[in-house]
Amino acid sequence: MLAPVCFSVAKAASDQGEETNGAEWSDSRWLDDLATLKAELEASYPNLLWKASHESDVDLPALASAAESAIRRATTDEEAFEAIAALIDGIGDGHLYVADVERSADQPPSEARELFHDAASACASIGYIDFDGDAYSLPFEAAGSFELIRGTPASGFRTGIVTTASGPKIAVLRVASFLSVNLVEACEASFMKVSVQAGRGGGRADWPRWCSANCLTRLRDETIARSIAFLRRDLEVAWHRGARMLLVDLGQNPGGEGWAWDLAQSLARTPLDAPVLGVVADGRLDRYLSIETDELHETAHDARNDLATREAALAAHDALLQFRVDATSSEPCDLSWAWTEKRAWSVDAFWQCGRVARLPFDASGELLLDGRVIAPGKGVLRRLEIAVDKIGWRGSLGVYVDRDSASAAELFAGYLQDSNAAVVIGEQTLGAGCGFIGYQRSNIVLPASGLKVVVPDCVILRKDGSNSAAGVRPDISIDRSYAENPALFAARVVKAAAPRR
C-alpha cells in the first residue's frame, strides 16, 4: 500500500531534534502530526465516510487508537513514523499513501522543439516504453488448444483463442494496465498525425518533426483510440474464427487512466450506465470550475459563433456558475466522529456531509444539470472520440479479476457488472476505487515531521450506492490457493467463462 519513503526518517530526526545526541525524545510533535492528519483527512479524503461505515471492513477507531498508543510508547522518530504509516496503510486505500519526497516532482512537458527523425525514437523519448505486459496473468495458453492473434509488449494487449476440451472457443484478451504509455505500437502509428512538421516537403521529407506539450495531450488520446481500433480488428478475427465468448484478463492489473471507461463501453453491446462521480469540494474544484465557466463565458460572447452556440454556452455558464457556488460554499459537517465510532453507510449523508460534490457531467462528457444536457463538456470519464457502436463485442463477455486488480481495472469491471454487460469471474479485487481526475494534487504535509501524504480527490459510487473503494465482488467466485498449479487454475477460470449449452 505504501510508497517507499526514501527521504528516510533519520533525516527528519536530524533536522528536527537532537535525541540522537542525548536529548530527551518527545512524542508531542508526532501527536500533533497525528491530529493534523486526521483533521486533513476529514476535510479532503473522499472515502472517509465509507471507511467509517459498518459496510466497510476497516475499523478506523481501532486504527486511530492504535496509532496514538504506538506514538506514546515510541522512543524514536522511526517508531513514531511507523505508527502513522500503520494508520495510513490500515485504511486500505491504494491511492492514499506516504509520498516519496525525494522523488522529483512531475514536470510539465517541455514546449521546446526537440526534433525527432522517426516515430519510434519520438515515442520512446517522451515516455512510451515497451514493457513485459502482454503475457496473460494466468497461463491461459495451457487451458486448451491455443492460437495467438496478436501479442507483443509494444501492443499493450495480448489476444488469442482457447479451444476448450468440450468444444467452445473463447477469445482471451489481456489488459495488463490502463497506462497509455505502454501502447507503443499505437503511439508510433499516431505520431505523424499529431506532430508538427519541422520542414517542408512531402513523403519522407516530412521528417524531422517535433511535439509540444499540447501535441503530447493529443498524442495520448490518438494513441488510445488507435489501440482500441487495433483491438477491434483483433476481435473481428477472433469472431470469424468461431469465438463467441470474450474473457478480459485483468489479473494483477494495477489500474492507470480513465480510458478504462472507453474500453468498457467499446466492448459492451449496449450503452453502459454512467457511474456517479464525485470530487472533493475544495479549492481545487473551485479552480477547475472557474476555468470551465470562463471558457463558456468566452464562447457565449464570441461573435464568431452562431447564435445557437452562444445561447447554449450562456445557459451552460449560468448553470455551472450556480453549481460552483452551491458545491464550494456549503458549511462542512463535523466528521471527527469517524475516529471514535462506526455508522451505517448512507448515500444521502455522503453527499450532505462527505465534503464531496457530485460533478454535473455524464460519462460522455456532457454538462448535465437538472436532468438535462446543457452543453458539451470536455469529458470527465470518457475523453476520446470513439465509434462505440462499431466496436462492440457481439458475443458473451466475461472479466477475470484477482486480489491484485486495482483502481481503473476495478472500475472497468464495475462498469460492466453494474450494467449487466459482463459476468465477473475470479477473486474480490483490491479496493482502490477512484483515484485522481486530473487536478493538480495538493499533498497533506504534516508540519512537525515533514511527511507528505497523497490523498485521492475523487470517488465513484456503484449502482447499488456502495463506494467503488469497496472493490468488486465477482459474480462467479473462484479462489486460488498458492499451492494450486497455475495452469489448472487457468483451466478452471476458462471453464467458468465458457458459454452454457
pLDDT tens for residues 157-195? 999 999 988 878 999 999 999 999 999 999 999 998 888
- Residue 402: the pLDDT is 96
Q: Say if CB 312 and CB 318 are below 8 A apart.
A: no
What angle, rounded to 10 degrees, do the helices at 213-240 and 260-267 form? 30
Least confident range from 36-45, 154-163, 193-202, 315-324: namely: 193-202
Q: Say if CB 115 and CB 131 are below 8 A apart.
A: no
Which residues are CB-neighbours of 20 under 8 A, at least 6 positions away?
13, 14
Please report which residue ranges of 74-131 form alpha helices under DSSP H: 77-91, 119-125
- Residue 258: the pLDDT is 85
pLDDT at 383 over 50: no
User: What would the mean pLDDT of 449-472 be, rounded to a whole number?
Assistant: 92
Q: Say if CB 424 and CB 413 are below 8 A apart.
A: yes
Instruction: Round the average pLDDT of the chain to a whole number and report it.
Output: 83
Distance CA 280, CA 332 (A): 12
pLDDT tens for residues 395-454? 999 999 999 999 999 999 999 999 999 999 999 999 999 988 765 667 899 998 889 999
8-state DSSP, 178: B
- Residue 262: the pLDDT is 87
- Residue 211: the pLDDT is 83
- Residue 125: the pLDDT is 86
249 DSSP β-pair partners: 174, 400
Grid cell of 447 as nine digits: 508540519
pLDDT tens for residues 203-220? 555 788 888 777 888 888
pLDDT tens for residues 87-114? 999 999 989 999 864 443 444 444 445 7
Distance CA 287, CA 333 (A): 22
pLDDT, greater one: 370 or 171 = 171
- Residue 14: the pLDDT is 40
pLDDT tens for residues 297-337? 888 898 988 888 888 788 778 877 887 777 777 777 899 99
Least confident range from 79-83, 97-101, 407-411, 482-486: namely: 97-101
